C-alpha cells in the first residue's frame, strides 16, 4: 500500500514520461549491470566446469569443489592444503594493507599542507602537478616504474655509480618494484579525499588550540585527524580495494614466480578456460575485501555515505 | 625561529620527495622516448632521435586500439552519464528511509574490484544468451559475445557511479522551486526537465562526460575480460609491455603526457581569466593594461606556460622532419664495437697475467702483477663507468659475461632487428 503511494508520488513529481525514463535507467543499471551479473557469477562459482553438451544435464549440479580447490588443491582427500594459492591470497591481502598504510602516511602531510594554505599561486601549481599523473594510463605508469627498476634501469645505474652496490639489484624479483608501483598507482585516490576534508576544516579551530597551548602533536590528534577521518577512511578504502584488485601493476612489475591473486583469477579465465573456478576465486576476493573494509569502517565509526565525497 | 626554519626545510624536503616519486618516473619515461637505444633507458645515452615516434605511428595494433578505445569511450559516456544523471535525480526524491540503502547500492560499483565487474558481466551475458536460447551464429548470441557491447556495459556499471557523484554535488544547489514554477505555468514535465533542469546541469554533464571518457579510455581491469576478440589501447599496451618493452611505448606516453599538460594548463588559464573578469566586474581589480603581451596572458602564468609549451611542441615537430641521428648512430655503433674489442683484450690480458702469476708463484719468484688492470678503459667514459670502476682491481673472467650482459645487452636484444 505504502509502496504504491511512493510510486504514484514519484510519477506525480516527474510526469509519466520522465518518471518512466528515470526508473527505467536506474533499474537497468542496478538490475542488469550490478545485481544480476554478481548473482550469476555467484551461481557460476558453485557449478562444475562441464563441456557445453552436458550443461543443464544430470551432471549439472551445485558443488563446493571450486572453493575446495582454493583450500585443498586438487587433492580430493583433503589431506594437504593448497599452499601455493593460499599463500598468494594472504600475500595479496597483507600487501594491499601495507600499501594503504604507506599511502596514508605519505599523503597526510601533503594533504594538510595543501588544505590549510589556501589560494597561493604555489599551491595551485602543486595541485596542477598532482592532477597530471592522475590522467596518465595505469599501464604507462607501471611501465615508467619498470624502466626505473629494471636490471639496467636508472636506479641500478645510479646505485652502482655511487658505489652503493657492485651488482645490479633485482628489484623486480624481490617485489620491490611491485610494491612501489602499487603505492604509486593509487596514491592520488588517497590524497584527494584527505585534501577535501582538511580543506573544509576551519583554521580558527587550529589557532584557538594553539593559543591555548596545545602542542603540535595534540592539535593533529585531537582536531585535524578526527575531522579528516571520513576522508582518510574513504581514501584508504579506495586504495585498499584497488590495490587488492589490481591487475596491470602485478602483471607488469611482478616477478615471474610471485603472483597476485587477481592474476590467478585471470589465469583461470584466460589460460585454463575454467570460468567456474575463476568465478569462485573472484567471489573469494570480493567477499574478503568487502569484509575487511566493513570491519575497518565499523572500527573507525565511518558510514558508507562518507565514501566518495 | 630556528625551529620554524627546521619545519620549513623538512616540508621542502618532503615536497621534493613526494613530487619526485610522483613525477620522476614520468620524466624518465619521456626521456627514454628520445634515446635511440632499442631498450628504454636513459643512462647509457646513445643518440637523440625521433625514430620511436615513427615506429609508434606505424604500429597498426596501437592505431586499432585507439580507434576501439574511442568507440567504447563514446558508448560508455552516453550510457553512464544518462544512468548517473537518472540515479542522482532519483536520489533526491527517494523515500528517506530507503535513501541510505539506495546510496550504498549505487556507490558500491566504485568499490567492487574491476576484475570482478569484468567477470560478472562476461558470465551474466553469456547466461542471458543461453536463457534466450540464442545459438551460435544468431544475432543475440553475437551481440552478447561482442567485445565492444560487453565492454561498454562492464565499464558503465562503475563509471555511472563516478558520474552520479558529480551530479549529486551539482544537484544540491538546484532550486526545485524553479521546476515547480514552470509546472504551474503549464509546462509539461518533459519540458520542465529540458528547459530548466538540463541547462542547470550542463556544466556537470560536461565534466562528467570528460571524466567518464577518460575513465573508460584508461580502464584495463574490466576491459581485459570483456573485450574478447577486440582490443583497446590499454589491452594492446599491456600485451606489448608484458611481451617485451621498447621505447615506442615511451613515445606514446610522452604524447599523452604533453596532451594532459596542455589540457591542465588550458583549464587553469581559462579559470584564472574567468576569475579575473569577475574581479574586474566587482571593481576589485583594475582592467589589465595591454603591455607587450596580449591581454589574456598578463597576470596569468598558466596562459604564458601554455603558449610556451605550444611553441616547444611546434619546434619539436619541425625539427623532427629534418633531424637525422644517422651519423651519431654510426659513431655509437663504432664506439660499441671498439668497446667490445677492448673488453676482449682486457680479458685476455687479465688471463695472461693470472697465468703468469701462477707460473711465478710456482717458480717461487713473486713478480708483482699489481698494475694488472688496463688503464685505457677510462676512455669510454660514462658508458661503462659503473662496471669498470667496480671491477678494476680484479677483472676476473667470471664477472665478465655478466657485465657484458648489463652493459651491451642491447646488442643481443631481439628488438634490435626491428629497428635496424
Give A7-25 pLDDT, tens digit per residue. Answer: 667 777 777 788 888 888 9
Count Cβ atoms within 10 A of the Cβ of residue B146 and give its class: 0-12 exposed, 13-18 middle, 19 or more buried: middle
Residue B113 scores a pLDDT above 80: yes
Q: Which residues contact B169 (CB under 8 A, 6 or more apart)?
A: B204
A187 contacts in chain B (CB < 8 Å): 21-22
Q: What are phi and psi of A307, to 5 degrees?
A: -70, 140
pLDDT confidence of residue B153: 93
Residue B236 near residue A248 (C-beta atoms within 8 A): no
ipTM above 0.95, yes or no: no
Neighbours of A235 (CB within 10 A): 30
Return the residue matching grid coordinates 607488469: A252
Please report where in the chains the cell 618532503 appears, as a residue.
B14
Confidence of residue B416 (pLDDT cuts 50, 70, 90): very low
Does B339 have pLDDT greater than 80? yes
Residue-range domain boundaries for chain B: 59-246, 327-414
Distances (CA, A) of A26 to A20, B156, B210: 10, 12, 21
- Categorize the per-residue pLDDT at B112 as very low, low, confident or very high, splitting at 50, 70 and 90: confident
Chains A–B, number of C-beta pairs less than 8 Å apart: 265
The position carrying cell 553512464 is B80
Overall average pLDDT of the B101-123 stretch: 87
The verdict on a CB contact (< 8 Å) between A152 and B409 is yes
A243 touching chain B per CB within 8 A? no
Instruction: Tell whether domain A75-306 is in CATH 1.20.1050.10.
Output: no
**C-alpha neighbours within 13 Å on the C-beta side of residue B412:** 7
Confidence of residue B402 (pLDDT cuts 50, 70, 90): very low
Cell 562518507 found at: A306
B210 vs A50, higher pLDDT:
B210
Higher pLDDT, B274 or B206: B206
CB contacts under 8 A, A 93-132 vs B, are 106, 109-110, 113, 121, 124, 126, 128-132
What residues are paired with B48 via a beta bridge?
B35
Half-sphere exposure of B365 (CA within 13 A, CB side): 5
Q: Per CATH, which fold does B59-246 belong to?
A: MetI-like fold (1.10.3720)
B-contacting residues in A 259-298 (Cβ below 8 Å): 262, 265-266, 269, 275, 278-279, 282, 285-286, 289-290, 293
Which pLDDT value is given to residue B411?
Answer: 44
Separation in Å, CA B38 to CA B220, B255, B420: 26, 19, 10
Contact B223, B232 (CB under 8 A): yes
Looking at residue B286, the DSSP 8-state letter turns out to be P
Which chain B residues are closer than 8 Å to A262 by Cβ?
113, 115, 221
Report the SS3 class of residue A62: strand
Considering chain B, what is the average pLDDT of its residues? 77
- Measured between alpha carbons, how far is B169 from A309 in angstroms, rounded to an integer? 9
pTM exceeds 0.95? no
Q: Which of A280, A254, A237, A238 is nearest to A92 (CA)?
A: A254
Q: Give per-residue pLDDT as tens, A239-280.
A: 998 888 888 888 888 777 768 888 888 888 888 788 888 888
Q: Annotate B225-267 with DSSP letters as a single string.
A: HH-TT---HHHHHHHHHHH---THHHHHHHHHHHHHHHHHHHH
pLDDT at res. A10: 72
Q: Which three cell numbers stand for residue A269?
A: 579465465
Average pLDDT of span B17-26: 86
Which chain B residue has its CA at the smallest distance from A263's CA? B115
Which residues on neighbouring strands pair with residue B35, listed in sequence order? B48
Listed by start position, the domains of chain A span 75-306
Which chain B residues have a beta carbon less than 8 Å from that of A289?
113
Q: Which residues of chain A have pLDDT under 70?
A: 1-8, 52-59, 75-78, 118-119, 151-152, 258, 304-309
Q: Which residue of B has its CA nearest to A38?
A: B120
Q: Which of A38, A146, A237 sits opposite B245 (nearest CB)?
A: A146
pLDDT confidence of residue B68: 92
Grid coordinates representing A201? 576544516
- At B410 the pLDDT is 45
Burial class (CB in 10 A: 0-12, 13-18, 19+), A213: exposed
DSSP state of B42: S
Q: Which residue has the higher pLDDT, B171 or A161?
A: B171
Cβ <8 Å between A262 and B264: no
Quote the CA–CA distance of B403 and B391 in Å, as a whole number. 10
CA distance B153 to B156: 5
Q: In this structure, is the dihedral angle defined by the CA atoms of residues A255, A259, A260 and A266, taken in order, positive or negative?
A: positive
Using a 10 angstrom Cβ sphere, with 0-12 exposed, 13-18 middle and 19 or more buried, the burial of residue A109 is: middle
pLDDT at B375 over 90: no
The shortest CB-CB distance from A133 to any of B22, B28, B104 is to: B22
Nearest chain A Cα distance for residue B339, angstroms: 18
Q: How far, in Å, are A239, B121, B354, B357 from residue B362 at the CA level?
A: 67, 77, 12, 8
Amino acid at each position: 500500500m505504502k509502496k504504491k503511494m511512493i510510486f504514484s508520488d514519484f510519477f506525480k513529481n516527474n510526469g509519466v514520461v520522465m518518471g518512466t525514463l528515470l526508473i527505467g535507467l536506474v533499474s537497468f543499471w542496478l538490475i542488469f549491470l550490478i545485481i544480476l551479473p554478481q548473482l550469476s557469477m555467484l551461481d557460476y562459482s558453485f557449478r562444475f566446469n562441464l563441456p557445453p553438451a552436458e550443461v543443464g544435464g544430470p551432471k549439472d549440479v551445485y558443488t563446493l569443489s571450486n572453493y575446495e580447490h582454493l583450500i585443498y588443491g586438487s587433492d580430493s582427500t583433503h589431506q594437504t592444503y593448497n599452499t601455493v594459492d593460499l599463500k598468494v591470497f594472504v600475500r595479496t591481502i597483507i600487501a594491499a594493507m601495507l600499501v594503504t598504510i604507506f599511502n596514508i602516511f605519505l599523503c597526510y602531510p601533503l594533504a594538510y599542507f595543501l588544505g590549510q594554505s589556501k589560494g597561493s599561486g604555489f599551491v595551485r601549481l602543486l595541485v596542477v602537478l598532482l592532477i597530471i599523473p592522475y590522467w596518465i594510463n595505469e599501464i604507462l605508469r607501471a611501465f615508467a616504474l619498470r624502466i626505473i627498476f629494471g636490471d639496467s634501469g636508472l636506479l641500478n645505474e645510479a646505485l652502482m655509480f655511487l658505489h652503493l652496490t657492485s651488482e645490479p639489484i633485482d628489484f623486480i624479483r624481490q617485489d620491490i618494484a611491485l610494491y612501489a608501483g602499487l603505492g604509486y598507482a593509487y596514491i592520488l585516490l588517497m590524497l584527494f579525499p584527505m585534501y577535501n576534508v582538511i580543506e573544509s576544516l576551519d583554521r580558527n579551530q587550529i589557532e584557538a588550540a594553539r593559543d591555548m597551548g596545545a602542542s603540535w602533536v595534540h592539535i593533529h590528534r585531537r582536531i585535524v585527524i578526527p575531522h579528516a577521518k571520513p576522508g582518510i577512511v574513504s581514501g584508504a578504502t579506495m586504495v585498499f580495494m584497488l590495490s587488492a584488485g589490481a591487475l596491470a601493476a602485478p602483471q607488469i612489475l611482478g616477478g615471474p614466480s610471485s603472483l597476485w591473486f587477481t592474476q590467478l583469477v585471470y589465469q583461470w579465465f584466460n589460460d585454463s578456460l575454467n570460468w567456474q573456478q575463476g568465478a569462485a576465486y573472484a567471489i573469494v576476493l570480493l567477499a574478503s575485501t568487502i569484509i575487511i573494509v566493513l570491519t575497518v569502517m565499523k572500527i573507525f565509526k565511518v558510514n558508507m555515505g562518507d565514501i566518495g565525497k | 625561529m630556528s625551529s620554524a626554519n627546521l619545519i620549513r626545510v623538512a616540508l621542502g624536503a618532503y615536497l621534493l620527495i613526494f613530487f619526485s616519486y610522483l613525477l620522476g618516473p614520468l620524466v624518465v619515461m619521456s626521456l627514454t622516448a628520445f634515446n635511440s637505444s632499442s631498450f628504454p633507458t636513459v643512462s647509457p645515452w646513445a643518440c637523440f632521435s625521433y625514430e620511436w615516434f615513427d615506429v609508434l605511428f606505424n604500429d597498426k595494433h596501437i592505431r586499432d586500439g585507439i580507434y576501439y578505445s574511442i568507440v567504447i569511450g563514446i558508448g560508455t559516456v552516453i550510457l553512464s552519464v544518462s544512468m548517473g544523471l537518472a540515479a542522482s535525480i532519483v536520489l533526491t526524491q527517494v523515500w528517506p528511509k530507503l535513501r541510505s540503502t539506495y546510496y550504498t547500492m549505487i556507490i558500491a560499483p566504485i568499490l567492487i574490484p574491476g576484475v570482478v565487474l569484468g567477470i560478472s558481466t562476461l558470465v551474466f551475458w553469456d547466461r542471458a544468451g543461453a536463457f534466450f536460447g540464442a545459438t551460435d551464429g544468431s544475432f543475440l548470441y553475437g551481440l552478447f559475445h561482442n567485445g565492444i557491447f560487453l565492454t561498454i556495459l562492464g565499464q558503465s556499471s562503475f563509471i555511472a557511479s563516478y558520474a552520479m557523484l558529480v551530479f549529486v554535488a551539482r544537484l544540491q544547489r538546484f532550486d526545485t522551486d524553479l521546476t515547480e514554477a514552470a509546472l504551474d505555468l503549464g509546462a509539461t514535465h518533459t519540458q520542465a526537465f529540458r528547459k530548466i533542469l538540463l541547462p542547470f546541469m550542463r556544466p556537470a554533464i560536461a565534466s562528467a562526460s570528460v571524466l567518464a571518457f577518460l575513465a573508460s579510455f584508461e580502464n584495463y581491469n574490466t576491459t581485459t575480460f570483456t573485450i574478447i576478440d577486440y582490443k583497446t589501447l590499454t589491452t594492446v599496451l599491456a600485451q606489448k609491455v608484458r611481451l617485451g618493452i621498447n621505447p615506442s611505448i615511451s613515445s606514446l606516453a610522452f604524447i599523452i603526457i604533453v596532451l594532459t599538460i596542455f589540457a591542465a594548463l588550458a583549464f587553469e588559464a581559462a579559470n584564472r581569466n574567468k576569475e579575473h573578469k569577475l574581479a574586474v566586474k566587482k571593481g576589485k581589480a583594475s582592467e589589465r593594461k595591454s603591455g607587450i603581451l596580449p591581454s589574456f596572458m598578463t597576470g596569468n602564468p598558466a596562459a604564458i606556460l601554455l603558449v610556451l609549451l605550444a611553441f616547444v611542441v611546434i619546434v619539436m615537430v619541425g625539427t623532427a622532419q629534418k633531424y637525422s641521428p644517422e651519423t651519431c648512430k654510426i659513431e655509437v655503433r663504432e664506439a660499441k664495437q671498439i668497446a667490445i674489442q677492448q673488453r676482449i683484450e682486457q680479458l685476455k690480458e687479465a688471463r695472461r697475467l693470472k697465468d703468469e702469476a701462477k707460473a711465478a708463484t710456482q717458480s717461487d719468484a713473486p713478480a708483482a702483477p699489481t698494475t694488472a688492470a688496463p688503464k685505457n678503459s677510462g676512455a669510454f667514459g660514462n658508458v661503462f663507468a659503473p662496471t669498470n670502476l667496480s671491477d678494476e682491481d680484479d677483472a676476473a673472467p667470471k664477472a665478465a659475461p655478466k657485465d657484458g650482459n648489463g652493459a651491451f645487452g642491447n646488442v643481443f636484444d631481439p628488438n634490435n632487428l626491428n629497428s635496424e
